[in-house]
Structure 1
Amino acid sequence: MTKVLPKYRNSMIAIGLAMALTACEQEAQSGGAPGQEPRATAVESVIIETQPVEITDTLPGRTSAYRVAEVRPQVNGIIIDRLFTEGSKVEKGDVLYQIDPATYEATLDSAKAELASAQATLQRAKLQAERYRELVKNRAISEQDYEDADATYRAALASSMAAKAAVKSAQINLDYTEIKAPISGRIGKSFVTEGALVTASQTDYLATIQQIDPLYVDLSQPSNTVLKLRQRATSQGEMKVSGIKLTLDDGTEIDQPASLQFADVSVDESTGTVSLRALLPNKDNTLLPGLYVRAKVPVDNVDSAILVPQAAVSRDTTGRAHVKIVNSENKVEDRVVTTSRVVGTNWLVTDGLSEGDQVIVSGLQKIGDGSLVDPQQIDKQ
């Protein structure tokens, strides 16, 4: 009896298994055993339909206050009272600080006394000038006497006017001892306390008031899309674009839509971007200045756009985009397409596909060019 060596026996088993696997692969690729019809591979596909699409750009930005006012004193003095709560809402004209008014009240009283004296002198000079006007007509006095009386009257009139101005100036300075809010908004922390000496010429401000309803959103837009924005704004009949959707840095959506204002359209030469500004309502004052946001800005409308799911698009080593389509014989064909941008979960295709084409979106790893497929149509998201 011939003995089979263990090593030779193992080799024969390996060769047999390899031949069996090869036969299985050939049968799978041919769709069945020899003499049978090829078996179609099940795939999922979508039918291309054109649709109107609004093209948006996502831009980074930050919120800023609509108005900012730095509260400063306009007269010198000692702060004797602070009349607001830090972080609270104040209205225009509210008294925020009280400067000691004693010296300004005294100055006003002195100015009023000077005015009373000047008005008395004016009255006396006026009566004398009127009497001399009649006397000079009858030649009872000389022309020189009348001219002197008239000059005295005019000097008294000037003194009275100066005294009135002094009273007005003293009253203004007294009013300035009440430091009032120049705008309505939220006031920040106070940088001075009672007892602090402030001066009219100081550069340091006492507090800051910010109006945060509405808010500005400062954005940076590539200069090559600014013209499209301006064309869109003109088509809407006003120099702004509405319908801008904002999200916070953590992805939270802001309910209020913003409108784009063309406040600054100068191009930054170093970055090639344009600084734009959007206006965002903030009725409940929940949003604060300085927040980082992302804005979806509508820049264009495409009436007959072709959208293809991103899963259906692959790229070759040269970067060209390809899709697999199902032809009239239910066989796979490769198609080179041109994509421009991502719209949601889809690619916007500008060339290579037409309405009615059937694009394979799932099962691509099981098929090749010319493969027979059984396409199952699904809804395109």
Structure 2
Amino acid sequence: MEVQKIEKSKKPAMVVLISIVISIIVLFIGVMGMAMLARLKAPPAEAKNGERPLRVEALQVEQKDIQVFITGHGEVKALNVVSIAPEVPGKIVKIHPRLEVGEIIPKGEVLFKIDPKDYITIRKISSQRLKILKRSQELAKKEYERVRVLFEKNKVVTQAGVEKAEAAVLSADDLTKQISQVLETAENNLERCEVRAPFNARIKSVSLEKGQYVTPGQNIVTLADDSVLEIHVPLDSRDARKWLRFNKDETKEKIAWFSALEQAPCKISWTENNNGQTWDGRLHRVVKFNQQTRTLMIAVRFDAETALKKKLRSLPLVEGMFCSVKIPGRTLHNVFRLPRQAVSFENTVYIAVDNRLKTIPVKVARVEGENAYVTDGLNAGDMVVTTRLIDPLENALLEITNKT
């Protein structure tokens, strides 16, 4: 019985031992399999820890002579604007059928007419009276000659009689002159009853109705002469001093005013037009200096023929249009033209030297539109970085993308 018990207790121990051996074999096979799979996988490529370049665009600069242009703005105005006022009082009896704002009245046509009846009457009466006075003047002269001869030859009349006859002649002469003046005034007033257009006129304003009573000096019509137009352009006094081209004053008279401007051609463009239409004008004169804004007002002039030149679906250049004017100034010699964004606010630029970034200070002579003109700090052939960079590291590696 004891032997059987011992044999029964040995059987579980054998089962446990066999399970442990099998587990070890399985683990060994798994480890070996993983090792074999690991050896089959290729090792990853070793990453290169190199310097990464900045990708930029650059421009090789050259020295050039650059024409400076000053840009200003102003409104087109007619050179001659006339306010029409009657010279004689009276009632309006006739008005031009097209006397309306914006209409064009040809030169010489009657704008309006004042009732001439009173002046016709005065002329008629004065004319009749003048004929009578002239006859009286002739009789007085004959009487004076007769009395004078009688006094000088025969002493028939007295000296007082001669003087009386002479006074009658002088009185007749004076009355004749007075009536002649009245007649001339009446004829002039008759002419003034009809007010005519002094030129091919555009009506700017009208304050007139038929039957209205008007008085001398009362402005009732305003006319504009659009044959010659001007734009008054205010320029910064510093720009004017540096770049405007004045003629040398060769006159002997000493006048505290600006010398004459060179009559340089200018380009005019209407700010509301985006089709590239431009007109030609010329610098004419300095109009005034504005002490409040410290600006110099200059006049650019052009004629109607120029103003009417236009492209398809464009408008002519007329009074009231707000325009941009491009004015040629002096020439900058031996300067470098750079894109505006290539120059920092501290007046420095970035250049590429052996594909490395270098910062250099420059002297900017002028900024005009999208261009900056540099006089000092660069050399011909330098590669200037035109890409806008924000706080780049000095001596950073560069890759120029637009290099050919």
Bucket of the pairwise TM-score, normalised by the shorter protein: 0.7 to 0.9
RMSD: 3.1
Whether 1:264 aligns to 2:287 is yes
Measure, in 1, the Cα distance between the counterparts of 2:388 and 2:67.
30
Letter in 1 for 2:132: S
Measure, in 1, the Cα distance between the counterparts of 2:76 and 2:388.
46
Classify 1:77/1:165 alpha carbon distance in 2 versus 1 (closer, same or farther; 3 Å): same
Measure, in 1, the Cα distance between the counterparts of 2:165 and 2:277.
78
SS at match of 2:210: coil
Whether 1:321 aligns to 2:347 is yes
Identity among equivalent positions (%) equals: 23
Match of 1:197 in 2: 213
Measure, in 2, the Cα distance between the counterparts of 1:227 and 1:84.
52
Match of 2:336 in 1: 306
Structure 2 counterpart of 1:353, from 363, 370, 378 = 378
Letter in 2 for 1:266: F
Indicate the structure (1 or 2) with the bigger Cα radius of gyration.
2
Letter in 2 for 1:90: I
More off after superposition, 273-282 vs 156-165: 273-282
Whether 1:60 aligns to 2:85 is no
Measure, in 1, the Cα distance between the counterparts of 2:97 and 2:260.
41
Measure, in 1, the Cα distance between the counterparts of 2:150 and 2:107.
59
Unpaired stretches in structure 2, ≥5 consecutive residues: 1-22, 24-43, 250-258, 309-315
Measure, in 2, the Cα distance between the counterparts of 1:216 and 1:104.
42
Contact 1:47 1:377 in 2 (8 A): no
Structure 2 counterpart of 1:210, from 224, 228, 232 = 224
Letter in 1 for 2:91: I
Instruction: Give 1:125 shift.
Output: 0.7
Whether 1:164 aligns to 2:180 is yes
Unpaired stretches in structure 1, ≥5 consecutive residues: 2-19, 30-39
Contact 1:334 1:369 in 2 (8 A): yes
Whether 1:82 aligns to 2:92 is no
Classify 1:363/1:116 alpha carbon distance in 2 versus 1 (closer, same or farther; 3 Å): closer
Classify 1:126/1:210 alpha carbon distance in 2 versus 1 (closer, same or farther; 3 Å): same
Instruction: Give 1:109 shift.
Output: 0.5
Instruction: Give 1:228 shift.
Output: 4.1
The C-alpha deviation readout for 1:58-109, integer Å capped at 9, x for no partner, is: 2221222211111221222221211251233234432110122222211110
SS at match of 2:349: strand
Classify 1:197/1:164 alpha carbon distance in 2 versus 1 (closer, same or farther; 3 Å): same
Match of 1:335 in 2: 360
Classify 1:262/1:148 alpha carbon distance in 2 versus 1 (closer, same or farther; 3 Å): same
Structure 2 counterpart of 1:239, from 255, 261, 272 = 261
Contact 2:62 2:380 in 1 (8 A): yes
TM-score, with length taken from structure 2: 0.74
Contact 2:90 2:215 in 1 (8 A): yes
Measure, in 1, the Cα distance between the counterparts of 2:90 and 2:285.
44
Instruction: Give 1:28 shift.
Output: 4.6
Equivalent positions of 1:100-111 (< 5 A) are 100-111=115-126
Q: How many residues align?
A: 340
Contact 2:144 2:162 in 1 (8 A): yes
Instruction: Give 1:162 shift.
Output: 0.9
Letter in 1 for 2:162: Y
SS at match of 1:144: helix
TM-score, with length taken from structure 1: 0.78
Measure, in 1, the Cα distance between the counterparts of 2:61 and 2:243.
29
Measure, in 2, the Cα distance between the counterparts of 1:309 and 1:324.
12
Match of 1:223 in 2: 237
Instruction: Give 1:229 shift.
Output: 5.6
The C-alpha deviation readout for 1:231-252, integer Å capped at 9, x for no partner, is: 43449x9534422222222255
Measure, in 2, the Cα distance between the counterparts of 1:111 and 1:254.
63
Measure, in 2, the Cα distance between the counterparts of 1:171 and 1:192.
25
Classify 1:178/1:168 alpha carbon distance in 2 versus 1 (closer, same or farther; 3 Å): same
Instruction: Give 1:335 shift.
Output: 1.9
